[in-house]
Structure 1
Amino acid sequence: MIEVIYIVRHAFRANWTVDAQTGVYTALMVKTPTGIPTDPPLTSKGVEQSKELAEYLCNIQPPIDRVYSSPFYRCLQTLKPTTDRLFREGTAKGNIRIDRGVGEFFGRASWEHPLPPDLKILSPLFDHLDHDYVSIHAPAPKGEMIVELHERVRNALHHIVTTLDKDPEQPKTVLICTHAATMIAAGRVLTGKMPEDPDTDDFQCFTAGLSKFVRRRPDSEKGVAGNWDCELNSETSYLSGGSERGWHFNGDESFIDFSDIPVEAQETPKL
């Protein structure tokens, strides 16, 4: 069974802008490799962070057995120095499983957000992708409220862990590369520590920061959500620049004014 979950946020990326009235996204300064404006690559600083991260991850204990990633280019680019080495040395098994359930968070809008790249787009750009794995949980096309993000992440993590628990090769650890908001939600889901105010600054998500969660019970009777202890909360000691570009919810993630929606529809996520 899976005993340890490592979660890393992608390294420092290039930016984009969005016109909140029209929903038109524009990539800034750097052309996106996938042609999707919300899918920028890492900056030169981010590339260096990914290399420093790889040195740490390739020597971490317990070692990484399986790898999952958000479908966005910046996540796979962050993983590349690590996965190239892990798969070359035969440390990690299988291939990188792309899961939209641990993808980026976009606030609720009246228009549809750009879709992330699919395997057809990503395959020429990255090696070691699993073409047989099917992602089940995905964000709504027009974005999510915070409660919906936590529910999506809960479902995705349940699927990932239970799938690996049934793996005949019995992997013990999994590495997941994701994004800031998703990383925070994952910490809350796994530990069962959901604050009354979702804007609470609890689980950290620095660029290329690593969190580690250890399963409390050796069996699956308690399920996935709420059955993990956080031993590392976005560790960055291996980065020459230290902790950078932290983020937390601030109550202004939606592009729609929900002030007239009943309170019960905006309640704290139940984990």
Structure 2
Amino acid sequence: MIEVVYVIRHAFRTNWSVNPQTGEYTSASKTPTGIPTDPPLASYGVEQAKELAEYLCSVQPPIDRIYSSPFYRCLQTLLPTTERLFAEGRAGGKIRVDRGVGEFFGLAPFQHPEPPTLAVLNSHFPNLDPLHAATHIPHSRGEKILELHDRVEKALTTIITCLDSDAEKPRSVLICTHAATMIAIGRALTGNMPEDPDEDDFQCYTASLSRFERKKGDDAKVIGNWNCVLNSETSYLSGGAERGW
């Protein structure tokens, strides 16, 4: 069964903006997928991803499976890590793209841009799992914070239950996601949901790593059955903790 969940936030990205009246999104620079809310990493973020990879490739237990948000910046953050791990025959050889751990957009009277499809992402990133299909999709007009938490709980339950029954018996999984989603993952896994959703509890610095270890006993339980032993670790980054949310 899965014993450890590693969670990372994507590295430092370029920016976009939205007109809250019209719902028109614009990007500070051309995006690789043509979607304004899908910017690449900034050059600084590319360097962060390399530093993160050095750390991830040496964690114990080693990474056995990898899931990612479908946005370009997450897969770009993973690239230095997956190039090395997959070349060494580790981490399952594929990334499972899953919208259940994707970006959080607040409620709006307009539709938010959809993330790129797997077909589009395949033109930029190798080794995406064509057989994996997400089952928990954010609403196109955004979510309330509690709806984000509900979506994340369902996605984690599906992901971990699937891995627990994997015939190859993986011990660990790495999830690459975004700021608000990273916080929600910490709350879901530990079961520590504050009365005030704005409470400062789980951190989410760029290119940071959180680590959750499964409690002994009720192995079948997913939500609320994990201890947080690293909360947005950044010691391996030359710039340290940056851009908390």
* Normalised TM-score (structure 1): 0.89
Tell me the alpha carbon deviations over residues 212-265 of structure 1, each in whole angstroms, 9 at most, x when there is no partner: 0000026534x1110000000000000000000001xxxxxxxxxxxxxxxxxx
1-side partners of 2:157 and 2:39: how far apart? 29
**2:32 corresponds to:** 33
**1:172 corresponds to:** 171
**1:134 corresponds to:** 133
Tell me the alpha carbon deviations over residues 77-101 of structure 1, each in whole angstroms, 9 at most, x when there is no partner: 0000000100000121141000000
> 3-state SS of the aligned residue for 1:106?
coil
Are residues 1:24 and 2:24 paired? yes
1-side partners of 2:67 and 2:173: how far apart? 7
Q: How does 1:1-271 map to 2 (within 5 A)?
A: 1-28=1-28, 30-217=29-216, 219-221=218-220, 223-247=221-245
Count of aligned positions: 245
1-side partners of 2:217 and 2:163: how far apart? 14
2-side partners of 1:118 and 1:48: how far apart? 26
2-side partners of 1:165 and 1:218: how far apart? 15
* Normalised TM-score (structure 2): 0.99
Q: One-letter code of the match for 1:53?
A: L
Q: One-letter code of the match for 2:105?
A: F
Structure 1: 4+ residue segments shifted above 4 A: none
RMSD: 0.8
**1:254 corresponds to:** none
Instruction: List runs of 5+ in structure 2 lacking aligned partners.
Output: none
Kept in 2, the 8 Å contact 1:27–1:37? The answer is: yes
Kept in 2, the 8 Å contact 1:3–1:218? The answer is: no
1-side partners of 2:76 and 2:129: how far apart? 16
1-side partners of 2:18 and 2:191: how far apart? 33
Q: One-letter code of the match for 1:101?
A: G
2-side partners of 1:217 and 1:38: how far apart? 41
Q: One-letter code of the match for 2:150?
A: E
Structure label with greater radius of gyration: 1
> 3-state SS of the aligned residue for 1:232?
strand
1-side partners of 2:109 and 2:141: how far apart? 6
Q: One-letter code of the match for 1:158?
A: T
